[in-house]
Amino acid sequence: MRQALAGQGASRGIALGRARLRIAHAADTREQVIEHAQVEAEVARLHCALDAARGELNALRERLHGALAHELGEFLDIHALILDDPELLNGLDVLVRTGHYGAEYALKLQRDKLVAVFEGMDDPYFRSRREDIEHVVGRVRAALHRGTGEAPAGIAGEILVAESVGPAELAQLQARGVTAIVTAGGSTLSHTAILARSLHMPLVVSAHEALAQIDEGAALMVDGSSGEVICEPDAGDLRRFRVRRQELARERRGLQKLRRAETRTRDGVEIRLYANAESRQDVAQAHALGAAGIGLYRTEFLFLQRNQLPDEEEQFRAYRDLVLGMTGRPATIRTLDLGADKADGAGVALASEPNPALGLRGVRLSLARLPLFATQLRAILRASGYGSLRILVPMVSCREEMVAVRALIAELARELRTEGHEIADQFEIGAMIEVPAAALALAGLADQLDFISIGTNDLMQYTLAADRGNDAIAGLYSPLHPAFVRLLREVIAVGGKHDLPVAVCGEMAGDARYTRLLLALGLTDFSLHPSTLLEVRQAVRESDLQALRRRARSLLRAKDRAQIERWMAWSKGEGKDREPVAGSR
């Protein structure tokens, strides 16, 4: 019988398929005891599954590049560490060898024990790591099931229905041909959701009734925009599905036509779309789509997932190749943004801090480790001899930091010239504006800057006191808070007053839903992942800049998110209807 369930659309796209349910632990709750003679074979089966899980993680890492690798790297590291954790492994062996439990049941017992440890921790960050244990155990369990001939959760043409799905699983599910995912929990701003959007995998989250109401094998229709999930759709639903699918295919074809198009508003103003890049593939894609340059090159990936620091030569080659790859268009290289939340294997960042987001991170860490910072800057300066290069400094909170960075760059440039290196005559040096203090004190910082790039991902978390990685408060972590919109406007305006080019390089810049809002606030430079460039170009081309700017005042007068959302809905029509906020009290 037809049934409609409501969730939240987290990744656009529609899908029709049979439901594949994944109900956590249902199969493993029964106690499972084995004979003494089976023990070694069971241990071997268990280790085979652990190896398979490790192999899957490795294969996944090799397939990922660029932003996906960046998004997933942290999860893959944590999952790999859990899989090699001696406590987990010894515990499992003891349970099978001494307790004579079957592998699945031993896995369940170990999972319960570890989850209890994490749940008992005071720190919400560590408590939230419980989810990682669940995902790792789920991966090993799936490998055990595969070994016994059971079908994996989610096969070609099916729609996976689960309590939650880990980011590391997504790419695999897609490779297996799963066409959409519905989760009972989760949020639209989780890493899983961000990643689903990059992979173009339709995803509906927070469909609370999904596991209770959907039967295994039921026909499902899923709309990742509206969050609608229809179980056993009727003829009318199927008609709607076909129409929607044609619309989406048309949209996609339309976007492809924009590959070589100009990025100009309807009233003829050129908007610059730069790319956020981390790999050669990103650089090549940025080029193919006509990006204005690289607006953010995150250098952390050279330092993560390894035990030794990259030396000057290795870094120089990476930066030089980036500059050469852009054939004259500017490449903006961000200096190291490590911290205890993105700790490197070589131990540059502190292994742990009480509050990593507020700790020794970004330029603070670089200035505290001067030899390391000097090595990176020397490599960047040497690459400047090969093309247009700009230096971007992350996590700046005060003028003194920029004064120190500029002095160091000047000294290193002198040193390199004396050594006979061919480097640029001048360098543009900019700051990421992602700490509210820097945003509010920008006028005083301006003489130390040649350009700025607003890191909305961090600026939002610090302005709204909402941890960007915490799903529990994901609803608060939104750019649509009036305070945040006003702060953005302030930074763009002060930057303009001091003749500083201003870009936004956080996720917000790559989300076409916010393009008009940013244009209304005065933004002309966007830096975004190449996978979203065409959508934003289309939104720019459909916008009337003068009309949007005329209405900026009413946007800045908004009192709450609902009023900003109404302004956004209205801005798509750009002024045909009455202004939504201006007259409201």
Q: What's the closest the beta carbon of residue 458 comes to Mg ion, in angstroms?
A: 4
| Buried-exposed string 127-158: b where 16+ CB fall within 10 A, e elsewhere | ebbbbbbbbbbbbbbbbbbeeeeeeebbeeeb
Any catalytic annotation for residue 529? no
User: Could you say which of Mg ion, ligand PEP, none residue 505 binds, taking C-beta under 5 to 8 angstroms by partner kind?
Assistant: ligand PEP
The strand pairing partners of 11, in sequence order, are 203
Count CB atoms within 10 A of the CB of residue 452.
29
- Decide if residue 71 touches ligand PEP (CB under 6 A): no
Quick note: the x/- pattern for ligand PEP over 365-384, rule CB under 6 A, is --------------------
455 binds ligand PEP (CB under 6 A): yes
Count other Cβ atoms within 10 Å, centred on residue 245. 14
The partner in contact with residue 456, picked from Mg ion, ligand PEP, none with C-beta cut-offs of 5 to 8 angstroms by kind, is: ligand PEP
458 binds ligand PEP (CB under 6 A): yes
**Binding-site partner at residue 452 among Mg ion, ligand PEP, none, CB < 5 to 8 Å by type:** none
Pattern 485-504, ligand PEP, x by CB under 6 A: --------------------
Half-sphere exposure of 41 (CA within 13 A, CB side): 6
Q: CB neighbours of 422 closer than 8 A, spacing ≥ 6?
A: 385
Q: How far apart are CA 549 and CA 519, in angstroms?
A: 7
Binding stretches for Mg ion (CB under 5 A) = 434, 455, 458
Residue 434 is a binding residue for ligand PEP (CB under 6 A): yes
Q: Which listed residue (111, 139, 191, 298) binds ligand PEP by CB under 6 A?
A: 298
Question: Which one of Mg ion, ligand PEP, none is in contact with 467 (Cβ closer than 5 to 8 A by kind)?
Answer: none
CB 502 within 8 A of CB 456: no
Contact 408, 369 (CB under 8 A): no
In the complex, the smallest distance separating the C-beta of residue 362 from ligand PEP, rounded to whole angstroms, is 8
Nearer to Mg ion, 229 or 396 (CB): 396
Q: Does 74 bind ligand PEP (CB under 6 A)?
A: no
Q: Which stretch binds ligand PEP (CB under 6 A): 30-38, 385-393, 451-459, 552-560?
A: 451-459
Rounded to whole angstroms, the Cα distance separating 196 from 204 reads 10
Per rule CB under 6 A, is residue 332 in the interface with ligand PEP? no
Asked if 339 contacts 373 with a C-beta cutoff of 8 angstroms, the reply is no
Question: Does 456 interact with ligand PEP (rule: CB under 6 A)?
Answer: yes
Residue 289: how many CA atoms within 13 Å on its side-chain side? 29
Q: Using CA atoms, how far apart are residues 509 and 526, in angstroms rounded to an integer?
A: 6
At position 434, the amino acid (one-letter code) is: E
- Do residues 545 and 269 lie in contact, with contact meaning Cβ atoms separated by under 8 Å? yes
Nearer to ligand PEP, 206 or 299 (CB): 299
- The answer to the question of residue 279 lying near ligand PEP (CB under 6 A) is no
| The pairing of beta strand 331-334 with beta strand 389-393 | parallel
Residue 166 contacts ligand PEP per CB under 6 A = no
Q: Which of residues 502-541 bind ligand PEP (CB under 6 A)?
A: 505-506
Residue with tokens 């074979």: 41
- Binding residues for ligand PEP, total number by CB under 6 A: 10
Shortest Å, Cβ 214 to Mg ion: 39
CB 402 within 8 A of CB 431: yes
505 labelled catalytic: yes
Q: Pick one of ligand PEP, Mg ion, none as the site partner of residue 390 (Cβ within 5 to 8 A by kind).
A: none
Instruction: Kindly state whether residue 457 participates in binding ligand PEP, applying the rule CB under 6 A.
Output: yes
Catalytic site residue from 70, 79, 135, 191: 191
Contact 136, 83 (CB under 8 A): yes
Which residue is catalytic, options 79, 135, 505, 529? Answer: 505
Residue 73 makes contact with ligand PEP by CB under 6 A:
no
Distance CA 189, CA 192 (A): 8
278 binds ligand PEP, rule: CB under 6 A: no
Q: Kindly tell me the number of DSSP H helices and DSSP E strands found in the chain.
A: 24, 16
- Name the site residues for ligand PEP (rule: CB under 6 A): 296, 298, 337, 434, 455-458, 505-506
Catalytic sites, residue numbers: 191, 505
